[in-house]
Chains A and B, each alone.
Chain A
Amino acid sequence: MISRQLQITIALLLIALLAGGVYMYELRRRDERNLLQSADARPVTAPVAGPKVPVTLVVAFDDDGVLMRRQAEVALPDDPSGRAREVLRALLAEYLQHPAPHKVGEGADVDAVYLVEGGLCVVDMNAKFATGHPSGVLLEQFTVATMIETLAVNIPGVRRVKFLVEGKERETLAGHADLTTMYDVDAVHQIVTGLEKH
Chain B
Amino acid sequence: MRSTDVRRLAALAVLAVLVAAVLPWVTRSAEEKRLYVFTPAGISSISITDQDRHEYIALQDLLPNLGQVGIRRERDVVRLRVGAVEGEFRDGRNRFRIGKMQVESALKVRIDESGRVLVPLDLLPEIIKQYTGAEPELRLASHKLYLRGVAQYVSIELRRTDPSTLVLTFPVAVSPNITNEGGRVRLSFTHEPVLMSADRIDYQDKLIQSIAFSEPNGASEITVQGAAPLLTGFSEGGRVITLSAAPAPPKIAQAPAQPPPSTSPIAAPVTPGRLPATASPGLPETPLPVHGVVPFFVMIDPGHGGDDSGARFSEKFQEKDVTLAIARRLRAELQDRGITAVLLRDSDTTLPLEQRAEGANLRRAGMFISLHAGGPGVGVRVYTALVPPADPKVREQAGPFIPWQSVHAAFLDKSRVLGEQMVSELAGRKVDAQLMPASIAPLSRVASPAVALEVAPPRDNPSLDGLNAPAYQQAVAQAAAAAVVGALAHMLEEHK
Contact A191 B436 (CB under 8 A): yes
In the assembled complex, the Cα of A190 lies from the Cα of B375 at a distance in Å of: 22
A134: contacting residue among B311, B386, B388, CB under 8 A: B311
B106 in the interface (beta carbon within 8 A): yes
In the assembled complex, the Cα of A151 lies from the Cα of B377 at a distance in Å of: 27
In the assembled complex, the Cα of A44 lies from the Cα of B374 at a distance in Å of: 32
Q: A137-B383, A139-B376, A184-B389 are in contact. Are A191 and B437 (CB under 8 A)?
A: yes
Interface mask (B338-374 → A, CB under 8 Å = 1, otherwise 0) = 0000000000000001000000000000000000101
B32-40, B74-82, B261-269, B438-446 - the one binding chain A: B438-446
A187 in the interface (beta carbon within 8 A): yes
Q: Total interface residues on A, using CB and 8 Å?
A: 30
In the assembled complex, the Cα of A2 lies from the Cα of B330 at a distance in Å of: 95
Q: Which residues of A contact B388 (CB under 8 A)?
A: 184, 186-187
Contact B436 A195 (CB under 8 A): yes
What are 7 sample pairs from A and B whose C-beta atoms fall under 8 A apart?
A138-B375, A141-B438, A175-B311, A178-B439, A180-B405, A183-B439, A187-B386
Interface residues of A in 165-189 (CB under 8 A from B): 169, 171-172, 175-178, 180-184, 186-188
Q: Which residues of B contact A182 (CB under 8 A)?
A: 405
Contact A187 B389 (CB under 8 A): yes
In the assembled complex, the Cα of A160 lies from the Cα of B454 at a distance in Å of: 26
Contact A137 B372 (CB under 8 A): yes
A176: contacting residue among B375, B405, B441, CB under 8 A: B441
A residues lining the B interface (CB < 8 Å): 62-63, 65, 134-139, 141, 144, 169, 171-172, 175-178, 180-184, 186-188, 190-191, 194-195
B319 in the interface (beta carbon within 8 A): yes
Q: A63-B376, A138-B376, A186-B388 are in contact. Are A144 and B439 (CB under 8 A)?
A: yes
Report which residue of B310, B376, B437 has the largest number of chain A beta carbons within 10 angstroms of its beta carbon.
B376
- If over half of A's interface residues share one DSSP class (helix, strand or loop), that class is named, otherwise mixed; here it is mixed
Q: Which residues of B contact A136 (CB under 8 A)?
A: 311, 372, 374-376, 454
Contact A135 B436 (CB under 8 A): no
A138: contacting residue among B308, B391, B439, B454, CB under 8 A: B454
B454 smallest CB distance to A (angstroms):
4
Q: Which residues of A contact B329 (CB under 8 A)?
A: none
In the assembled complex, the Cα of A194 lies from the Cα of B434 at a distance in Å of: 11
Contact B106 A175 (CB under 8 A): no
Q: Which residues of B contact A181 (CB under 8 A)?
A: 405, 439, 444
In the assembled complex, the Cα of A183 lies from the Cα of B405 at a distance in Å of: 11
B416 in the interface (beta carbon within 8 A): no
Interface mask (B305-329 → A, CB under 8 Å = 1, otherwise 0) = 0001011100000010000000000
A112 smallest CB distance to B (angstroms):
21
Q: Which residues of A contact B437 (CB under 8 A)?
A: 187, 190-191
Q: A171-B353, A184-B389, A187-B388 are in contact. Are A176 and B376 (CB under 8 A)?
A: no
Interface residues of B in 381-405 (CB under 8 A from A): 381, 383, 386-389, 391, 405
In the assembled complex, the Cα of A111 lies from the Cα of B312 at a distance in Å of: 28
In the assembled complex, the Cα of A169 lies from the Cα of B311 at a distance in Å of: 22
Contact A139 B375 (CB under 8 A): yes
B200 in the interface (beta carbon within 8 A): no
Q: Which residues of A contact B311 (CB under 8 A)?
A: 134-136, 175
B439 smallest CB distance to A (angstroms):
5
B414 in the interface (beta carbon within 8 A): no
**Among all A-B residue pairs, the 3 with the closest Cβ atoms:** A184-B388, A135-B311, A62-B376
In the assembled complex, the Cα of A139 lies from the Cα of B436 at a distance in Å of: 14
In the assembled complex, the Cα of A169 lies from the Cα of B387 at a distance in Å of: 19
Contact B386 A176 (CB under 8 A): no
In the assembled complex, the Cα of A138 lies from the Cα of B391 at a distance in Å of: 26
Contact B440 A178 (CB under 8 A): yes
Q: Which residues of A contact B383 (CB under 8 A)?
A: 137
Report which residue of B303, B304, B439, B440 has the largest number of chain A beta carbons within 10 angstroms of its beta carbon.
B439
Contact B308 A141 (CB under 8 A): no
Q: Report the nearest B residue to A118, measured CB to CB.
A: B393
